[in-house]
Amino acid sequence: MEPGIVLESEPIDGELRGGRRWRTAEQKRQIVEETFEPGASVAAVARRHRINANQVFQWRRQYRAGGLPVPSESSPRLLPVIVTDPAEATPDGEPAQSSGAAIHIEFPGRALVTIEAGVDPSLASAVIERLSR
């Protein structure tokens, strides 16, 4: 977009709740992405959508931190997992042999976590919880 040219778009309306307008993460992301267009003004985008410019700046910070994720039909689905005590893993009560197995969890655009056999479960849980935000 050239300087001095204003992109016209329909305002993205949100749902009214208690006198306030609420927008979905998708709506916020669309508004924020308008501000990244060359020559775009945060103030002009905010006015067009009837939002305070400070709110748009806050959404931009969230966007940059990964707080306004892009929904996708190919999003990973959660699978059921059963965790057993290694002592209960074999019928004869002998501890199961470690195969050096590992679990790989990808947080697209943020991290790839590998959890190897024997890792402290509370550590793995804390890492996964933090990256899930």
Farthest CA pair distance, the chain: 78
Q: Is 94 in the same domain as 66?
A: no
Q: Is 96 in the same domain as 68?
A: no
Tens digits of residue pLDDT in 59-76: 999 988 888 776 665 556
Tens digits of residue pLDDT in 77-131: 666 666 666 555 555 555 555 566 778 787 777 777 888 888 888 888 888 888 7
Q: Is 48 in the same domain as 93?
A: no
Q: Is 118 in the same domain as 56?
A: no
When divided into structural domains, the chain yields a total of 2
Q: Note down the domain range covering 2.
A: 1-72
Q: Which residues contact 45 (CB under 8 A, 6 or more apart)?
A: 31, 34, 35, 56
CB contact at 8 A, 3 and 17: no
pTM above 0.85, yes or no: no
Question: Distance between CA 61 and CA 68 in Å, rounded?
Answer: 10
Q: What is the CA radius of gyration of the chain?
A: 23
Q: Is 53 in the same domain as 96?
A: no
Q: Which of 32, 48, 72 is the last residue of a domain?
A: 72
